[in-house]
């Protein structure tokens, strides 16, 4: 059973309470490898993409099992658990909920078994699926699942997709996927498996990253190249938008289910992806340093020191310092051991706010004019607290510089932003935001400069959170959102005997 009552307590996260992470997916097909441990370390490398739940599915060719729970990867798995997950195929997931509540039932990979074949004799197939992204036709998919008489207690778009994949016993999993994938609207990077084959698929726009790697005895797919390097896999290529990969005993096979129309997420370059990850040939660290350089040129200001909001603001702050000639120093120290927690702070501790995670170095900022570089402002509460900390530490001026444009629109493609009403840039202009956070000056990087730093054509990027132009059409307001499936009464269908769901 899940820990406690299965409910995840949201932690106090004063450093980055705004643009939350999304999800990380990982898959491996390899003979003679400990695929569960490879997946564990792959998920460890992707932990920044999701901290609410983690899970691993494995197959030894005869059955698929899933182990999952709420919590960080290292909290969910231990040596004995991983040793019990044996096979040659594995799929893993690190979750931040973007559709469906943070419950054990919504943890991934999701698991479904097909009914027996139409002849009544062919064996059922078990499917385990992990998803990074967010679908926008979830309500339509839910109707299809209901029409088929399939019910479950999960409230995520991932569960719907898995149910629909398993609903075609007359087709192979690959054929069922090629039929289903073109009907899905939104962003998805799927890694899924049956007893014998590993699959990977990416939506036609390639909104979320997904890469293919090679190890000595097999293949690896992952959300980011950093995860490939962690497990010793060599980068082969990105999974193409609109492509389905099938990996089995006969090697790798590629199929096309949609014409590619690339619209990669621009916010991956700003914040989401690790700095040592490469997307579309562009290293994230180099892109973020370029953002800082451009920011320095935009609105120069006299100052004594450049500091970063750790960790995400560091590359841009380094770029800003290099371009401006103002020295870069560590001015804010983050407590690396204060992560997401199941322990809620008392009211007195909560009032300490940002000090639980971030403290100023007084020796660096006292008596100085400080430029503080961060990647984004969402609600403004974080920057307001940071400016106050720096002034209390003796800074005589605090100039805030943001290495992205104002975030004015929510994301419906896999990032859990605040609602539009909560976005500070939606109600205030730059001067109003400056006054709200208490800075001496404030400047955002322009959209054109941000795009230039990615070295990608503007037309190949999704910029919706900055300019409100959504490349994938959205349904009516009442048919979209994180909790669109909540409140639906469902019953649990038993799994076929060749697929077991192993509960912690």
CA atoms of 454 and 434, how far apart (whole Å): 27
CA atoms of 27 and 417, how far apart (whole Å): 27
**23 catalytic per annotation:** yes
CA atoms of 47 and 311, how far apart (whole Å): 14
Q: Within 13 Å, how many C-alpha atoms sit on residue 73's CB side?
A: 25
Q: Output the CA angle 410-414-420, nearest 5 degrees.
A: 10
Residue 271 tokens, joined: 């914040």
CA atoms of 210 and 238, how far apart (whole Å): 6
CA atoms of 497 and 126, how far apart (whole Å): 10
Q: Where are the beta strands (DSSP E) in 31-79?
A: 53-59, 64-70
Task: Report how many helices (DSSP H) and strands (DSSP E) the chain contains, helices first.
Answer: 17, 24
* Nearest CA-CA partner of 210 in 188, 177, 183, 182: 188
CA atoms of 126 and 494, how far apart (whole Å): 12
- Residue of 23, 265, 462, 465 with catalytic role: 23
Q: Going by DSSP bridges, is the β-strand pair 110-113/64-70 parallel, antiparallel, or unpaired?
A: unpaired
79 CB contacts (<8 Å, ≥6 apart)? none
Q: Where are the beta strands (DSSP E) in 211-297?
A: 211-215, 218-222, 234-238, 243-248, 251-256, 264-265, 278-279, 282-283
Residue 54 bridge partners (DSSP): 69, 94
CA atoms of 436 and 424, how far apart (whole Å): 9
* Nearest CA-CA partner of 355 in 1, 10, 12, 2: 12
The DSSP code sequence of 360-376 is E-HHHHTT-EEEEEES-
Residue 490 tokens, joined: 């469902």
Query: Which residue is it, tokens 């289903």?
Result: 180
The CB density around residue 147, as the number of other CB atoms within 10 Å, is 8
CA atoms of 378 and 257, how far apart (whole Å): 36
81 CB contacts (<8 Å, ≥6 apart)? 67, 504
Q: Is 132 helix (H, G, I), strand (E, B) or coil?
A: strand
CA atoms of 353 and 338, how far apart (whole Å): 13
Q: What is the CA radius of gyration of the chain?
A: 23
Catalytic residues: 23
């Amino acid at each position: 059973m899940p820990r406690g009552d299965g409910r995840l307590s949201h932690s106090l996260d004063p450093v980055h309470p705004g643009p939350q992470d999304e999800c990380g997916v990982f898959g491996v097909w390899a003979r003679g490898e400990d695929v569960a441990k490879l997946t564990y370390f792959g998920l460890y490398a992707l932990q920044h993409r999701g901290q609410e739940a983690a899970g691993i599915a494995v197959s030894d060719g005869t059955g698929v099992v899933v182990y999952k729970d709420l919590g960080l990867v290292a909290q969910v798995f231990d040596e004995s658990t991983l040793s019990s997950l044996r096979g040659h195929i594995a799929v893993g997931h690190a979750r931040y909920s973007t559709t469906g509540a943070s419950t054990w039932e919504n943890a991934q990979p999701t698991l479904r078994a097909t009914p027996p074949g139409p002849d009544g004799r062919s064996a059922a197939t078990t499917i385990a699926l992990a998803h990074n992204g967010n679908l926008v036709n979830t309500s339509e998919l839910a109707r299809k699942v209901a029409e088929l008489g399939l019910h479950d207690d999960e409230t995520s778009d991932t569960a719907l997709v898995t149910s629909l994949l398993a609903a075609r016993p007359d087709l192979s999993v690959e054929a069922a996927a090629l039929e289903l994938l073109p009907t899905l609207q939104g962003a998805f990077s799927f890694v899924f498996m049956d007893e014998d084959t590993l699959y990977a698929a990416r939506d036609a726009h390639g909104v979320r990253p997904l890469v293919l790697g090679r190890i000595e005895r097999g293949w690896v797919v992952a959300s980011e190249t950093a995860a490939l390097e962690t497990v010793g896999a060599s980068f082969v290529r990105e999974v193409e938008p609109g492509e389905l990969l099938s990996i089995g005993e006969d090697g790798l096979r590629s199929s096309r289910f949609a014409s590619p129309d690339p619209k990669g997420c621009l916010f991956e370059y700003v914040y989401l992806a690790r700095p040592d990850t490469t997307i579309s040939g562009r290293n994230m660290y180099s892109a973020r340093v370029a953002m800082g350089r451009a920011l320095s040129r935009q609105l120069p200001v006299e100052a004594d020191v450049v500091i970063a909001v750790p960790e995400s603001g560091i590359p841009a702050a380094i770029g800003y310092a290099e371009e401006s000639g103002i020295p870069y120093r560590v001015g804010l120290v983050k407590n690396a051991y204060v992560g997401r927690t199941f322990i809620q702070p008392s009211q007195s501790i909560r009032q300490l706010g940002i000090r639980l995670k971030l403290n100023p170095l007084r020796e660096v900022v006292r008596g100085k004019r400080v430029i503080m570089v961060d990647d984004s402002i969402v609600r403004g509460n974080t920057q307001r607290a940071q400016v106050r900390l720096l002034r209390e530490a003796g800074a005589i001026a605090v100039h805030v510089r943001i290495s992205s444009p104002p975030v004015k629109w929510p994301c419906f493609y896999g990032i859990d932003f605040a609602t539009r009403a909560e976005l500070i840039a939606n109600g205030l202009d730059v001067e109003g935001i400056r006054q709200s956070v208490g800075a001496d000056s404030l400047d955002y990087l322009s959209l054109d400069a941000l795009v230039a730093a990615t070295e990608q054509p503007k037309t190949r990027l999704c910029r919706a959170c900055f300019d409100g132009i959504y490349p994938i059409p959205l349904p009516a307001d009442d048919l979209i959102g994180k909790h669109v499936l909540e409140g639906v009464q469902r019953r649990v269908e038993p799994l076929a005997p060749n697929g077991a769901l192993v509960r912690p």
